[in-house]
């Protein structure tokens, strides 16, 4: 509420928000009802925002961050998210909730969790979900600020909690929460009580495992692993993976995920504080992975390669995976935003959205991310071209704000290209490739309001060709390069007029272009 730009919006409803600001003690059900009520008022304002996504998950109003509890339960996919229903700034975290039968059309469900109990009174932080005996279990981190006067990082306590549901809509927190606290691990690990969060649960050989992110007193990141037979009683197994002070792997490992993909084992992490290295790790925090081997007897994950990024854009953080047993694949969804980035949508009563769901594959010792094939359902009004691009041009029928644009460019007779998206008289978002340096870039210096800058990744051509699959929504771009080998995702804030697409070949490009409105 300290946000002057949004005062006008919020003063209208401040009356309703005051009890919450004063931290009136509410039961969980009361707190959920109150949040719901406030959300529906604010939704009327947020709905008017041009930048509110058409086909990506976002909250009806106000702030969201990490995806949580991504799972399949009772015939539907579920995504929960970190949610502050009372403002477009981060605040005491609730869990918002959407569900979908097809991963494409999402429906908002009632808010699932609110921070009302002694052990989670300042936030129900990130976590995951799993089904057992027709019951859905949500595992989350209870966040407590110990010294309210002096709300600093080192005066917090984080513990692991659980809430259960039989209908997948109404969740009841367990009476014996927290189910894991800081006494659970050996003292000599030097884990800080204030940085122990984001449990991700999975099943392996009739045993449940849970990985939790942690920070040590030496300011290094760790992933701790626990096991349980019943999802309620958890036993500490080991430090599953860790960084040393010498490595550039940050000071805290947030949102760990363990995935089995195409017979490979993968540890996905969102480390805070990795320093830039060339064109890598340029965002405030990163999300990426290690391939390796998991030994369930010792609980140790042996890392086999360097930390690799999952997305090279400005905005992709805290991804969560789910094993989609129905379709035998590993899915991932991430927060399409970044901590401390400028978010012009905050002035319009909302903040943050999710990426499109992606399928993970491992090829050539690399994790590939591909858009889920279900998104083809969104395709409308196909326009395609098989052309030789020899000069700067626009192509009839190829323009818009919400679309899927697929291109294969043969660069045998070209040095590269610029592909300008969301173009108006004064705006453009420039995707480019230079054959000499092999650098693929996204530049958002003229992308509209607020944000600027450039992100890049080195891309090898395949038979002199580069292929792009681009998903554009009102305020986002997700660019999948060479069949998911690299991805660049970013928020942009263009005007409604910025619908142009301009092709600028450097030389002669044989191009296959396949465009769909969404």
Q: Which residues are catalytic?
A: 66
Closest approach of ligand FRU to the CB of residue 123, in Å = 7
Closest approach of ligand FRU to the CB of residue 286, in Å = 12
DSSP 462: B
- The residue within the footprint of ligand FRU, chosen from 120, 122, 198, 427 (CB under 6 A), is 198
Q: What is the dihedral of CA 241, 242, 248, 249, to 10 degrees?
A: 70
Closest approach of ligand FRU to the CB of residue 164, in Å = 20
| 351 is a site residue for ligand FRU (CB under 6 A) | no
Q: How far apart are CA 20 and CA 39, in angstroms?
A: 13
- The residue within the footprint of ligand FRU, chosen from 194, 254, 265, 315 (CB under 6 A), is 254
Determine which helix (DSSP H) or strand (DSSP E) holds 417, and give its type and residue range: strand 403-423
| 418 is a site residue for ligand FRU (CB under 6 A) | no
Which residue lies nearer to ligand FRU by CB, 352 or 494? 352
- Judged by CB under 6 A, the number of residues near ligand FRU is 13
Q: Cα(first)–Cα(last) distance of the chain, in Å?
A: 35
- The residue within the footprint of ligand FRU, chosen from 141, 159, 216, 447 (CB under 6 A), is 141
Which residue lies nearer to ligand FRU by CB, 42 or 338? 338
- The residue within the footprint of ligand FRU, chosen from 39, 49, 65, 243 (CB under 6 A), is 65
Closest approach of ligand FRU to the CB of residue 420, in Å = 32
Closest approach of ligand FRU to the CB of residue 411, in Å = 38
Q: How far apart are CA 96 and CA 78, in angstroms?
A: 11
Determine which helix (DSSP H) or strand (DSSP E) holds 241, and give its type and residue range: strand 235-242
Q: How far apart are CA 181 and CA 187, in angstroms?
A: 12
Residue 124 · residue 28 · CB < 8 Å:
no
Length of the chain measured in residues: 518
| 139 is a site residue for ligand FRU (CB under 6 A) | no
| 318 is a site residue for ligand FRU (CB under 6 A) | yes
Question: How many CA atoms lie within 13 Å of 458's alpha carbon, on the beta-carbon side?
Answer: 5
| 49 is a site residue for ligand FRU (CB under 6 A) | no
- The residue within the footprint of ligand FRU, chosen from 197, 444, 446, 455 (CB under 6 A), is 197
Neighbours of 417 (CB within 10 A): 23
| 63 is a site residue for ligand FRU (CB under 6 A) | no
| 52 is a site residue for ligand FRU (CB under 6 A) | no
53: left (phi over 0), alpha (psi -120 to 50) or beta: beta
Neighbours of 462 (CB within 10 A): 12
What token pair was written down for 404? 């899927």
| 239 is a site residue for ligand FRU (CB under 6 A) | no
Residue 109: beta bridge partners? 97
| 255 is a site residue for ligand FRU (CB under 6 A) | yes
Residues 113-132 that bind ligand FRU (CB under 6 A): 125-126
2: left (phi over 0), alpha (psi -120 to 50) or beta: alpha
DSSP 23: T
Closest approach of ligand FRU to the CB of residue 95, in Å = 10
Which residue lies nearer to ligand FRU by CB, 281 or 403? 281
Closest approach of ligand FRU to the CB of residue 255, in Å = 6
Give me the residues that bind ligand FRU (CB under 6 A), please. Answer: 65-66, 82, 93, 125-126, 141, 197-198, 254-255, 317-318
């Amino acid at each position: 509420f300290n946000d002057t730009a949004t005062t006008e919006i919020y003063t209208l409803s401040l009356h309703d928000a005051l009890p919450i600001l004063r931290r009136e003690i509410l039961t969980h059900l009361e707190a959920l009802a109150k949040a719901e009520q406030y959300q529906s008022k604010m939704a009327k304002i947020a709905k008017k925002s041009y930048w509110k996504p058409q086909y990506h998950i976002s909250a009806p109003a106000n702030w969201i961050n990490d995806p949580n509890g991504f799972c399949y339960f009772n015939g539907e996919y579920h995504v929960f998210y970190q949610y502050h229903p009372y403002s477009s700034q981060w605040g005491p975290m609730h869990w918002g909730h959407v569900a979908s039968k097809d991963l494409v059309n999402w429906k908002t469900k009632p808010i699932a969790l609110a921070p009302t109990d002694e052990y989670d009174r300042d936030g129900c932080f990130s976590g995951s979900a799993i089904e057992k005996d027709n019951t859905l279990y949500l595992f989350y981190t209870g966040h407590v600020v110990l010294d309210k006067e002096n709300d600093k990082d080192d005066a917090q306590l984080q513990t692991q909690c659980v809430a259960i549901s039989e209908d997948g809509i109404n969740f009841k927190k367990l009476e014996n929460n927290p189910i894991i606290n800081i006494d659970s691990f050996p003292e000599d690990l030097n884990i800080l009580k204030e940085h122990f969060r984001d449990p991700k649960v999975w099943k392996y050989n009739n045993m449940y495992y849970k990985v939790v992110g942690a920070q040590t007193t030496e300011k290094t990141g760790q992933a701790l692993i626990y096991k349980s037979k019943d999802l309620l009683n958890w036993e500490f197994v080991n430090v599953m993976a860790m960084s040393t002070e010498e490595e550039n792997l940050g000071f805290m490992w947030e949102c760990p995920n363990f995935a089995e993909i195409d017979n490979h084992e993968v540890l996905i992490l969102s480390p805070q504080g990795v320093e830039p290295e060339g064109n890598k790790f340029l965002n405030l925090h990163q999300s990426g992975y290690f391939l390796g081997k998991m030994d369930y007897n010792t609980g140790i994950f042996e890392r086999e390669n360097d930390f690799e990024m999952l997305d090279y854009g400005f905005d992709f953080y805290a991804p969560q995976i789910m094993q989609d047993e129905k379709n035998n694949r590993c899915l991932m969804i991430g927060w399409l935003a970044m901590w401390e980035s400028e978010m012009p949508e905050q002035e319009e009563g909302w903040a943050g959205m999710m990426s499109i769901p992606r399928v993970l594959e491992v090829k050539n010792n690399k994790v590939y991310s591909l858009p889920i094939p279900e998104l083809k359902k969104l395709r409308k009004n196909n326009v395609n071209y098989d052309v030789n691009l020899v000069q700067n041009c626009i192509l009839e029928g190829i323009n818009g704000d919400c679309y899927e644009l697929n291109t294969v460019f043969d660069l045998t007779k070209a040095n590269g290209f610029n592909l300008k998206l969301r173009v108006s008289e004064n705006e453009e978002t420039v995707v480019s490739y230079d054959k000499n340096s092999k650098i693929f870039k996204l530049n958002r210096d003229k992308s509209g309001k607020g944000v600027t800058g450039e992100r890049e990744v080195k891309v090898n051509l395949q038979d002199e060709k580069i292929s792009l699959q681009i998903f554009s929504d009102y305020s986002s771009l997700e660019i999948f390069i060479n069949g998911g080998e690299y991805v660049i995702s970013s928020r942009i804030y263009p005007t409604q007029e910025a619908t142009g697409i301009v092709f600028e070949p450097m030389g002669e490009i044989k191009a296959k272009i396949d465009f769909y409105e969404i």
